[in-house]
């Protein structure tokens, strides 16, 4: 049985790391972007993002927007160099991206934020919202 101890320890560490990554949360509001339903997005300032559970040691946050109804379209995003507490706000206009602009009806969009310390990913969070 002593041979199982390192395996159990590794599994426990893996579960802890996964749980820690899952704790970061993201919320956003579209803000005052121009209404767009033509399928030709505008380049607009990023919305206000609210984060909680940000791991200690984060030096940069990378944001990416995906249209869940047309996942191949690149809406872009940006990286914000930051040292922030476990809960904080990234103000509107921190970077520019291609706005949501579904050609017909509503689409579901998803922002993904990746918290990094150098090249190491510490956590990832996602938030979805329909537009318009």
The reply to whether 19 falls in a domain is: no
Residue 65 CA from chain centroid, whole number? 8
Q: Residue 40: give its domain's CATH number.
A: 3.90.280.10
For CA atoms 60, 91, 38, 112, give the dihedral sign: positive
The pLDDT confidence band at residue 84, using thresholds 50, 70 and 90, is confident
Q: Is the pLDDT of residue 8 over 80?
A: no
Q: Measure the CA–CA gap between 123 and 115, rounded to whole angstroms.
A: 5
Per-residue pLDDT at 82 exceeds 50:
yes
Tell me how many domains the chain contains.
Answer: 1
With respect to residue 100, please indicate whether it lies within any of the assigned structural domains: yes
For residue 5, tell me if it sits in a domain. no
| Residue 20 confidence (pLDDT) | 44
* Burial class, 104, CB count within 10 angstroms (exposed 0-12 / middle 13-18 / buried 19+): exposed
On the question of pLDDT at 106 being above 60, the answer is: yes
> Could you tell me which of 131, 124, 130, 128 has the C-alpha nearest to residue 51?
124
Is 50 exceeded by the pLDDT of residue 12?
A: no
Which residues lie across from 125 on neighbouring strands? 113
Do the domain assignments include residue 43? Answer: yes
70 in any annotated domain:
yes
Q: Does 127 score more than 50 pLDDT?
A: yes
Query: Structural domain of residue 98, as residue ranges?
Result: 24-131
The answer to whether residue 15 sits within a structural domain is no
* pLDDT digit string, tens, across residues 18-63: 444 449 999 999 999 999 999 999 999 999 999 999 999 999 999 9
Q: Is the pLDDT of residue 11 over 50?
A: no
């Amino acid at each position: 049985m002593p041979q199982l101890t390192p395996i159990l320890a590794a599994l426990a560490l893996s579960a802890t790391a996964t749980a820690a990554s899952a704790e970061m949360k993201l919320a956003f509001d579209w803000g005052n972007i121009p209404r767009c339903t033509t399928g030709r997005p505008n380049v607009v300032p990023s919305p206000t993002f609210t984060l909680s559970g940000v791991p200690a040691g984060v030096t940069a946050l990378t944001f990416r927007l995906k249209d869940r109804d047309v996942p191949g379209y690149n809406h872009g995003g940006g990286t914000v160099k930051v040292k922030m507490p476990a809960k904080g706000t990234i103000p509107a206009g921190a970077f520019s991206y291609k706005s949501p602009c579904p050609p017909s009806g509503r689409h579901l969009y998803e922002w993904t934020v990746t918290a990094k310390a150098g090249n190491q990913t510490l956590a990832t969070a996602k938030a979805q919202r329909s537009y318009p």
